Amino acid sequence: MSKLLPLALILIVLVSGCVNFAGGKSMFGIFEIKDNPNLYMNVEVSTDDIKSGRDVKLQFTVNNPGEEPLENFIFTAYDTCLFITEEGENKKEFPELKPNASKIWTWTWTARDTNFPVDCKVKFRASYDTSATFSKTINVLQESEFYSREADGTLGEIRSSSFSTVGNLNSDISFSESQPFLEGEDVYTYIDYSYSGDGQIIKINKDDITIDFPANVDPECSNYDVSDVSDREFVKCGGTTYDCNDIILDDCKSFGCTVGGMCKADPDSGVSDMSCVYVDRGSCDGDGSCDWVDGVCIGGNALPCSNLNEAKCEITETPNCKKEYKTSSKTSYALNKDLIFTNKKAPQTTCKLTTKAEQPIQSGDMRLTVKYKYQFDDSLLLKVNPK
């Protein structure tokens, strides 16, 4: 690749898709920086004198300066104007662009013949999938605590905090009453979604917004359905040592045990993962070794292993014990229909929250997780001169 000229450096940081590479003037010598929280892009051109019939190299660098990974990143030059491109030289895809990670690629294009200078507008489209998180603290007070603080004028000392991921999508969580809330009240929460920049979020798909409510409210949501009443965490069965000879050999094989490894149990078996401390793989005639899982000899001959039933996996967990779970105190709701954006805003959604408190002051976070696709179109101006 020919040496990239410093004068040809174009530095663009996309503002929510607003590339505006050249602002209507020749790109050469232009230096622009614009902010997009999700994507940085740098373009270098191999020459500042593009001649018809000649090749020009464009080197692209993209970087994710945000807090969340970008998935299914696609960058396409869908209108290359006077430039001829070989297959694959106008579209680039990356399955994932992690935070702070960069990708670099180069395209070689050939300018078509022209008898006069042409300001050639090359049109681009970029899109990616990403996510955003938003949260708001909900404070609920028992009656005695609430009225005592109200009398003392100290209700305002109880603060509510919020958090949001920096990105293209914005969300505002508000309530019908001021905080802190009195237990037993019906409070409404209003959730607004919007986006910034010159790109587009056309819609958020059904199930791509999840709301986790804390234990101090009972929610009723018309736009969201219950997806999981609680998180269940398996509590280990414990205690008794046994080996695979005590159960059916096929079950023992299903653990996939290897010496020094782990026996991976079926999560519904009532057994947690187990250390595999001993395996007798059986024996084979000659120099062959026994594949214990498949039960056949490897090398020497392909006969079944001898003494296979002596294979055992010593495990320090009790099989088929009564499964016990502990539950977390949150309720998850998922969006039950597509959310369509108009003029960069989506329709407001709402939930009724009935407050409750098991202690004088009970606080918890209402947390939103949103998956979305962002896309934008723009153009790069390249001047092509005759030979």
- Range ranked top by mean pLDDT from 43-52, 120-129, 170-179, 259-268: 170-179
Task: Give the CA angle between residues 321, 322, 324 to the nearest 5°.
Answer: 120
CATH 3.40.30.10 applies to domain 6-130+375-385? no
Under CATH, which number does the domain 132-228+329-372 receive? 2.60.40
Mark residue 320 as left, alpha or beta (left: phi above 0; alpha: psi -120 to 50; beta: remaining): left
Poorest-pLDDT segment among 5-9, 111-115, 343-347: 5-9
Query: pLDDT at residue 385 above 90?
Result: yes
Q: Where are the domains of the chain?
A: 6-130+375-385, 132-228+329-372, 232-327
Q: What is the pLDDT of residue 137?
A: 95
294-323 as b/e: b if 16+ CB within 10 A: eebbeeeeeeebeebeebbbbbebbbebee
Residue 332 — very low, low, confident or very high, per pLDDT cuts 50/70/90?
Answer: confident
Q: What is the pLDDT of residue 4?
A: 42
Q: What is the pLDDT of residue 330?
A: 55
Mean pLDDT over 304-333 rounds to: 47
Please state, in angstroms and rounded to a whole number, the distance separating the CA atoms of residues 137 and 359. Answer: 16
Residue that has been written with the tokens 């000879």 in this structure: 245
Q: What is the pLDDT of residue 10?
A: 36
Query: pLDDT at residue 360 above 90?
Result: yes
- Per-residue pLDDT of 188-230, as tens digits, reads 999 999 998 888 999 999 999 999 999 999 999 999 998 754 4
Mean pLDDT over 331-350 rounds to: 92
Mean pLDDT over 162-180 rounds to: 93
Poorest-pLDDT segment among 46-50, 129-133, 153-157: 46-50
- Per-residue pLDDT of 222-277, as tens digits, reads 999 987 544 444 333 333 333 333 333 333 344 444 333 344 444 444 444 444 33
Which segments within 98-254 are labelled E, that is strand?
A: 102-111, 118-141, 162-164, 169-175, 181-182, 186-195, 203-204, 209-213, 217-221, 224-228, 232-235
Average pLDDT, the chain: 74
Residues 6+ apart with CB under 8 A from 314: 241, 242, 243, 276, 277, 278
Q: What is the pLDDT of residue 285?
A: 54
Q: What is the pLDDT of residue 42?
A: 80
Q: What is the pLDDT of residue 258?
A: 39
Poorest-pLDDT segment among 79-88, 138-147, 210-219, 322-331: 322-331
Residues 6+ apart with CB under 8 A from 366: 135, 136, 137, 138, 173, 189, 211, 212, 213, 214, 217
- Per-residue pLDDT of 41-67, as tens digits, reads 888 888 888 999 999 998 888 889 888
Mean pLDDT over 322-339 rounds to: 67
Residue 303 — very low, low, confident or very high, per pLDDT cuts 50/70/90?
Answer: low
**How much is the pTM?**
0.66
Query: pLDDT at residue 358 above 80?
Result: yes
